[in-house]
Amino acid sequence: MTFLSEYVPQAGELVEFRVPEEAVEKARRAPVHPVPPSPVQENHLLRYLANLRAGRPQSPWVGLAFDLPGRIDTAAMAAAWKKWALRHETVLTWFSAEPDNPAPDRGTPGGTRDEVAAAGPAAPDGVRTALIRHKVAAEDVDIQPVPRGEFASPEAVREHLREQFGSGTSPMAWPPFTAGAVLGENSSTVYFAIDHAHSDAYSVLLVFDELRTLYRAEVEGTEAVLPEAGSYVEAGALERERAATLQADSPGVRSWVEFLLSGPLPSFPLGLGVPAGETRPSLSFELDLLTADEADAFAKVCRPHGAGFSAGLLAALGVLHRELGGREVYRGLSVVHTRNEPRWLTAQGWFINLVPVAFPLTGEEDGRPLSLPGLLAAAGAGFRGACKLARVSPLRVAELAGLPLQSDDSAVLPIVSYIDGRHAQGSRDWAAANCNGLYDSSPSSEVMMWVNRCWDRTYLKVTCPDTPEARVNVPRFLDRLQQVVRWIARGGDADAALGPATEFSVPAGDKIRANTGAN
């Protein structure tokens, strides 16, 4: 997971893989598709439009870069990108935004135009907009290599990527993706970005092995052998149908509302120096948490107490919320995947949801910090209960509960995401291929955490507002988190509560890597 401002590409001859203008023009006239955006797509599109209207900065794309041996065949790579796009229905669609006015029935499966257009949702800034999906015909899809000349430095390539990714990934136009390569004699770097509406952090990593397979087949003149990829358009329709069945008294809605009403909203336990309602440019940190062997040991310690790897991480975070924030209950939002059917396993799409996690950090009777077994058991139970809400749309909950959705990034609450990248096809080759998931950060007011488990290590990526307070408090938090996670991996002391921070020490040489350019 690499922010674009941190990425150091190779310099060299650059080629873009572009959709010809005549195909783009046909796409502008693509017919309406009856399936509206999924709930998470809808929220993304409304925030995108509200930010555009307000002139606020945003970074709505996700991307990828990796190396291939030698100087690639650009015609074969363009053909591979075309076949990749045709495999994923969501990539063939784009959205238009129109005033939300009633219109006659168009005879589509969705019923009236308002029903097709997600029932005229209100944007976070109060503007009511009908979001219409359009789908480009397969026969109109074409991608060709376009030479862009020599780029003499990594900085020049990176600035080109920043411009290309920013201008080539709108969800309101087609194509919503852009790609290219830097050609070298010994190796070539392939890069790609797509609007978040059509992909997520895990989906974009799947492009690595899928595109390699398609490219190899083009070069060899064979047919690529790949599993069938399900359609996120279909998955989004099912998600919307489930959301429509929720009512104020539905168990999942009640669970969410109970979480929201039972305590303060999730927040970082230390001060960040950002006034309420404001944001600051983002700062990012990266920290190795565990080696491969330590990660295995961590999972082994957690398992007997009913806690998986995710719950074990939340238990460690709970320790810090108690120690540094004086909290008796951990309250947070965790990212969970929604690839709950085999057909979605290799699909491009936004297959995630947020679930609320709460569990005690102290004993109910004596108020003392829980022992490690008790803490892991509490975190495991809290996370299992939260995962039961994986198919409950928090956006629908907000609508039913009458909660306003703010339009800028100050509305983003802190999240914790855990991805076990070892499950992705081709992940053993990531390091050798210099594979980087590329991202850009938006202004922020809170701390966002992504824990990524790879074959050789488990590391933490964090973004936070760039303030003097955050520059002190976030590294302090991360330093302690590393200590606690490694303490758990060593088994801790099953007979005693976790002790104060002075009982732990960071091994020499471990460093928190900061980046000040992620803004």
Look over the chain and give the mean of its residue pLDDT values, rounded to a whole number: 89
Q: Look at residue 460 in the predicted model and tell me its pLDDT.
A: 97
How much of the chain is helix, strand and coil, in % rounded to 5? 40, 25, 35
Average pLDDT over residues 103-114: 32
pLDDT tens digits, one per residue of 242-283: 999 999 999 999 999 999 999 998 999 999 999 988 889 999
133's tokens = 């999906």
Q: Look at residue 124 in the predicted model and tell me its pLDDT.
A: 57
Q: Which of 359, 468, 355 is nearest to 413 (CA)?
A: 355
Quick one: which H or E segment has residue 158?
helix 154-167
pLDDT grade for 506, boundaries at 50, 70 and 90: very low
Average pLDDT over residues 411-438: 93
Q: Look at the pTM and tell me if it is higher than 0.85.
A: yes
Q: Where are the alpha helices (DSSP H) in 370-467?
A: 372-387, 394-401
Buried b (16+ CB within 10 A) or exposed e, 11-29: bbebbbbbbeeebbebbee
Q: Which amino acid is at 342?
A: P
Q: Look at residue 100 in the predicted model and tell me its pLDDT.
A: 65
61-69 and 448-453 beta bridge pairing: unpaired
Q: Which of 28, 20, 31 is nearest to 142 (CA)?
A: 20
Of 137-151, 171-185, 469-483, 489-503, least confident by mean pLDDT is: 489-503
Q: Look at residue 102 in the predicted model and tell me its pLDDT.
A: 44
Q: Look at residue 504 in the predicted model and tell me its pLDDT.
A: 37
pLDDT grade for 106, boundaries at 50, 70 and 90: very low
pLDDT tens digits, one per residue of 374-416: 999 999 999 999 999 999 999 899 889 887 655 455 567 899 9
Of 109-123, 161-175, 341-355, least confident by mean pLDDT is: 109-123
Sign for the pseudo-dihedral over CA of 15, 10, 221, 428: negative
Q: Look at residue 510 in the predicted model and tell me its pLDDT.
A: 52
Q: Look at residue 116 in the predicted model and tell me its pLDDT.
A: 35
Q: Which of 175, 193, 195, 180 is nearest to 24 (CA)?
A: 175
Residue 77 backbone zone (phi > 0: left; psi -120 to 50: alpha; other: beta): alpha
Bridge partners (DSSP) of residue 62 are: 194
Q: Are 355 and 387 in contact (CB under 8 A)?
A: yes
34's tokens = 């009856």
Checking if the pLDDT of 131 tops 60, the result is yes
pLDDT tens digits, one per residue of 35-49: 999 999 998 998 888
d(CA 422, CA 230): 21
pLDDT grade for 305, boundaries at 50, 70 and 90: very high
The percentage of the chain sitting over the pLDDT mark of 70, rounded to a whole number, equals 88
Q: Are 168 and 193 in contact (CB under 8 A)?
A: yes
Q: Look at residue 129 in the predicted model and tell me its pLDDT.
A: 78
pLDDT grade for 115, boundaries at 50, 70 and 90: very low
Checking if the pLDDT of 63 tops 80, the result is yes
The percentage of the chain sitting over the pLDDT mark of 90, rounded to a whole number, equals 78
Query: In which residue ranges of the chain is CATH 3.30.559.10 found?
Result: 2-234
CATH code given to domain 2-234? 3.30.559.10
Length of the chain: 519
Contacts of 319 (CB under 8 A, 6+ apart): 361, 375, 484, 498
Query: In which residue ranges of the chain is CATH 3.30.559.30 found?
Result: 255-269+282-340+348-423+444-496
Sign for the pseudo-dihedral over CA of 199, 205, 210, 216: positive
Q: Are 311 and 323 in contact (CB under 8 A)?
A: no
Quick one: which H or E segment has residue 236?
helix 232-245
Checking if the pLDDT of 113 tops 80, the result is no
Q: Look at residue 104 in the predicted model and tell me its pLDDT.
A: 35
Average pLDDT over residues 459-474: 96
d(CA 156, CA 137): 36
Q: Which residue has the higher pLDDT, 130 or 404?
A: 130
Q: Look at residue 415 in the predicted model and tell me its pLDDT.
A: 94
Q: Look at residue 511 in the predicted model and tell me its pLDDT.
A: 59
Measured between alpha carbons, how far is residue 100 from residues 6, 115, 117, 406 in Å? 41, 11, 9, 20
CATH code given to domain 255-269+282-340+348-423+444-496? 3.30.559.30
Checking if the pLDDT of 294 tops 50, the result is yes
Q: Look at residue 187 in the predicted model and tell me its pLDDT.
A: 96
Q: Look at residue 123 in the predicted model and tell me its pLDDT.
A: 56
Half-sphere exposure of 471 (CA within 13 A, CB side): 9
pLDDT tens digits, one per residue of 345-356: 999 999 999 999
pLDDT grade for 505, boundaries at 50, 70 and 90: very low
